[in-house]
A = this chain, B = another copy of it.
């Protein structure tokens, strides 16, 4: 059964793209990582654009599932918001990588259309989860909830990026702590 192979490709491609971006992805290295030949990748994903879109789609789907799970497990919305940054922290822990979609946001102009769409979806599901959770926590003026949600998402993304550029997770932690001190983020 080679459904496992397809999964292995998606997983390895996600990891590679979090370190090198869409442009930095290449079939030979990816195939070697999975343990097959480059030509075989084209059986599962006809073109690089197909692969990129599939990886980005899976990425936001996984994120959506994880956020929903957090919301179910943690009854207090404010607790969810406190934990939110740890999702981004994990990428840094995992070999100083960053969010797939932050990298792809930078590469925006060079992405195939199908990939751009999935990148947008990632931002959307984050913002909508943050909006919902901010509202549940009653932490924001209702008219500005979504605006605030977007701001949190952007600020955390920026923190992750800056931390990567120093290859230092402590930078990320300090930034999050600063967001909290200013009351911008609950904590």
Residues of A at the B interface (CB closer than 8 Å) are 19-21, 23-24, 96, 98, 101-110, 116, 119-120, 123, 144, 147-148, 150-151, 153-159, 161-162, 164-167, 171, 174-175, 177-179, 181-184
Contact of A107 among B21, B110, B153, B179 (CB under 8 A): B21
Contacting pair A106 B106 (CB below 8 A): yes
Contacting pair A178 B96 (CB below 8 A): no
Per assembly, the copies of the chain total 2
Contacting pair B109 A162 (CB below 8 A): no
With A116-B165, A147-B174, A182-B184 known, 18 other A-B pairs at CB within 8 A are: A19-B109, A20-B110, A21-B107, A96-B109, A98-B106, A101-B165, A103-B106, A108-B164, A119-B165, A123-B162, A151-B155, A154-B162, A155-B158, A155-B179, A157-B158, A157-B161, A158-B158, A179-B184
Per the bound structure, the CA–CA distance linking A165 and B153 in Å amounts to 13
Contacting pair A20 B109 (CB below 8 A): yes
Contacting pair A105 B178 (CB below 8 A): no
